[in-house]
């Protein structure tokens, strides 16, 4: 599991960088052209930023599990990844499609992240 989490964390971080760059360049040009509202660019930035933070969290989780510092439940890494897909993914889709109802999915990803972080805290404190 640790190798899978590590690889998926690296993939997610790389995608966050690429998607952040896409927002900074291609979407910024759409804002300048008047075809995209400026607040949508902020939404894109939020998605990329949160994706990167949680990719790094997954990376640290994988390293801690590999080093034997924590006994991590198998589903915990998947919780961070699913949270990323739902939170950041829904925001990316919202910005690109303009379909506002996609924003209703975002809190589900946030809730998964919260559960994952709280689980990590409990696992860490129990040793």
Q: How many domains does the chain have?
A: 1
pTM for this structure? Answer: 0.94
Mean pLDDT of the chain: 95
Q: Whole domain around residue 97: which residue ranges?
A: 2-126
CA nearest 73: which of 108, 110, 121?
121
Q: Is residue 127 predicted with pLDDT exceeding 80? A: no
Q: What whole-number distance in Å separates Cα of residue 10 and Cα of residue 4?
A: 10
DSSP notation for 84-110: HHHHHHHHHHHHHH--GGGGGTHHHHH
Q: What's the pLDDT at 93?
A: 98
pLDDT digits (tens, 9 = 90+) for 70-93: 888 889 999 999 999 999 999 999
CA nearest 15: which of 84, 67, 100?
84
Give kind and range of the element (H or E) at residue 9: helix 2-22
Q: What's the pLDDT at 1?
A: 85
Q: Are 56 and 9 in contact (CB under 8 A)?
A: yes
- SS3 of residue 50 by DSSP: helix
Q: Which two tokens stand for residue 73?
A: 């439940």
């Amino acid at each position: 599991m640790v190798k899978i989490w590590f690889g998926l964390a690296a993939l997610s971080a790389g995608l966050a960088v690429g998607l952040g760059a896409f927002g900074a360049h291609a979407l910024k040009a759409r804002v300048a052209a008047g075809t995209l509202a400026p607040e949508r660019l902020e939404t894109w930035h939020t998605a990329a930023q949160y994706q990167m933070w949680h990719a790094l969290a997954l990376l640290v989780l994988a390293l801690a599990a590999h080093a034997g510092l924590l006994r991590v439940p198998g589903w915990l890494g998947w919780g961070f990844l699913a949270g990323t897909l739902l939170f950041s993914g829904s925001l990316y889709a919202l910005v690109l499609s303009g379909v506002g109802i996609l924003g209703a999915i975002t809190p589900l990803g946030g809730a998964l992240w919260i559960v994952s972080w709280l689980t990590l805290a409990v696992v860490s404190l129990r040793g």
